Amino acid sequence: MASTKTQDERLTEWNNTVLKYLIPNDVVLSLYLILGTIGNITVILVYVFKMKVKRDDRFFIPVLASVDFIACLVGASFAFAWNIIPVKFNNGIVCEVLWFVSQGVTIISAVLLIIIAVQRYLKVCKPSFIFTQKMKYFCTILAFCFGFAFSVPIFFYYGSVEIYNPMLNVTGFWCGQKRQNIEHVIIFDISAVIVAVIASIVLIILYILIGKAIYRKFIIFQQSVKQGKYTKNQRSSVELESVLAVDKDNENESSRSRANSIEDLVECDTYRRKVKRGSADTLDQGRFFTIGQHFRTHRYSYMFMTITALFIIAYSPRVTLMLLESIDPNFWNKPNEAIAGFLFLYRMYLLNHAVNPFIYTFFDTRFRKAVSEIFCCCCATKKSMSL
């Protein structure tokens, strides 16, 4: 029956068959796209225009949110286009450009996470070293340059590739790795895996050191609170030395950091006064206070730890599949169910870019409050207009 059909009809039949198995994948991609675009746009607008006190800790958040927004928009749109025409993707230029952008923003995100980890390490473990605004801008530009420079080989090793279906006796076009110069493709993918492994190890080591330093400070802080010795004169040397580290060459930055230090110390001073009055309830709840104040002081370190851990988990399947794809020429010649499963893992990296806004909301109380105010204002406006 297949022999009576034209080439285009057989190709369309093959495309529709694969497309049906990718419908669950489309549902997941829709969630990535909706949550990622709306969430990251909200983060950018709130942190840039709404936050009155801009902490040193928040500098990289709008930058990372911008990269996450591009990653979700381009990555999910690319995946949707691929799902609609999985074996009819014959536009090589579009394929290469989309691969380049999606790969580039992912690498930029990884480099930014390394820069953030270094900044957190210096802030917590080496507070005498000042990570200035100029250094932050320079590192951000460096991250973008490295991400796109490392992705340039995409134009040579990826594109529209012919793929043959012996069952239907038809040739289609797949947007993926080219088989020409496969040795170079393998070297490129192995290099990407090595860089990813090294970056992961560096991130893990840095956050282990940060975690150990935070734990030591927590023990000292807890003992000081229990003994009732935690006073305003001691606070900079005990728990909040990282908060009080300011950019000496920028008076505005200095005042902002001090303002946030006061914000973090309100609960400490309140608790200290209650201890002097001998409140039994306060003494019984001392452990909960120290844990809460510790978390409040180091919440940005914990936030970026969570983001980094999620990034490593979400991006690992993609790197692994890229390497397997280059080594095995028949990697994608599998049943449609297997292809759908592999593509789900291939695109799981988008989960990190889509979920980050919710992580910011959980850890940053000021951001959460600003978002609540915006939504309450919108609801009130709609209600007044309906009346």
In this structure, the answer to whether residues 58 and 118 fall within a common structural domain is yes
Distance CA 165, CA 275 (A): 77
> Cα 213 from chain centroid?
24
For residues 252 and 381, membership in a common domain is answered with no
In the chain, the percentage of residues whose pLDDT exceeds 90 is 29
Verify that 130 and 263 share a domain, yes or no: no
Give per-residue pLDDT as tens, 116-155.
999 888 888 888 888 888 888 999 999 999 999 999 988 9
Q: Which tokens sit at 382?
A: 């709609």
Domain boundary among 235, 265, 294: 294
Give how many domains the chain has, as a whole number: 2
Q: Using CA atoms, how far apart are residues 344 and 317, in angstroms rounded to an integer?
A: 10
Which pLDDT score is estimated for 283? 44
pLDDT above 50 for 346: yes
Per-residue pLDDT tens over the stretch 42-71 = 999 888 877 755 566 688 889 999 999 999
What pLDDT, on a 0 to 100 scale, did the predictor assign at position 247? Answer: 38
- Of the three residues 264, 294, 324, the one that is the final residue of a domain is 294
Q: Are both 364 and 252 inside the same structural domain? A: no
- Are 167 and 49 contained in the same domain? yes
Same domain, 196 and 219: no
Query: Which domain range does residue 313 map to?
Result: 2-210+301-386
Q: Among residues 294, 319, 343, which one ends one of the domains?
A: 294
Considering the domain architecture, whether residues 280 and 339 belong to the same structural domain is answered as: no
CATH code, 205: 1.20.1070.10
Give the SS3 label for residue 134: helix
Give the span between the Cα atoms of 87 and 150, in whole angstroms: 28
User: How many Cα atoms sit within 13 Å of 156 on the Cβ side?
Assistant: 13
pTM of this structure: 0.78
Q: Are residues 187 and 244 in the same domain?
A: no
Answer yes or no: is pLDDT of 113 > 60. Answer: yes
